[in-house]
Amino acid sequence: MPSDQRQVESMIDNAFIQTLVAEHGRWLMAFLRALAGDDAEDAFQEVWVRIYRRGELLRDGTVKAYLAKTARSVVIDRLRRRHLEISLDSGDEAGESTADIADSAPTPAQRFESKATAADVRAAVAALPLNWRQVVLMRIEGEMDFKEIAAELGVPLGTVLTWMHRATVELKRKIGGMK
């Protein structure tokens, strides 16, 4: 299997798409299910069709980051087409004060242990505000660095870091207690 760098330079044809699906389908599907919920399978198909139709060489970064960006874009476009109100700023109004966040943060010495199931985790992630959820998934599944995520979302780096921190605290609060 070619390295990520060589895949970036490959032409996108049918066979190459199927290769990408085999290699990246699992994490991409997890990404879309957490971001798009029941619309994940349709979004999954649209991601690959969109990439295929571009026909362009992948230019920047890794394949994973490219796929994560495309997937996020597909989900946002689908939500807009369905005329859902997306409160993109809801992540800033979660109702938690800075003091609450600081008090609930676990100590760095603790390793994370939980008996939460996959369904528990997915539900907890799905319950996050969209902005937080995007950052978490682009970071965890897309393996994008925070600068890349900030550029993709069009927000300052500090905002992305804040969203990630708040999302992490919220997720740990929900699923960290399942021991």
Residue 88 near residue 75 (C-beta atoms within 8 A): no
Told to check if 19 binds other proteins by CB under 8 A, we report: no
Pick 82 or 111: Cβ nearer other proteins: 111
DSSP 179: -
162 membership: H or E segment, kind and range: helix 157-175
Query: Minimum CB separation from other proteins for residue 8, in Å?
Result: 15
For 56-84, b/e burial (b = at least 16 CB within 10 A) is: eebeebbbbbbbbbbbbebbbeebeeeee
> Going along 59-123, which residue ranges are E strands?
none
Determine, following the binding rule CB under 8 A, whether residue 112 of this chain makes contact with other proteins: yes
Stretch 61-100 residues interacting with other proteins (CB under 8 A): none
The two structure tokens encoding residue 20: 């990408």
135 or 153: whose CB is closer to other proteins? 135
**Residue 111 has which token pair?**
């390793």
60 lies in the site for other proteins, by CB under 8 A: no
Q: Does 151 bind other proteins (CB under 8 A)?
A: no
Looking at the Cβ atoms of 57 and 157, the one nearer to other proteins is: 57
By the criterion CB under 8 A, which residues form the site for other proteins?
13-14, 17-18, 21-22, 25-27, 29-31, 33-34, 41, 44-45, 48-49, 52-57, 106-112, 114, 116-122, 125, 136, 139-141, 168, 171-172
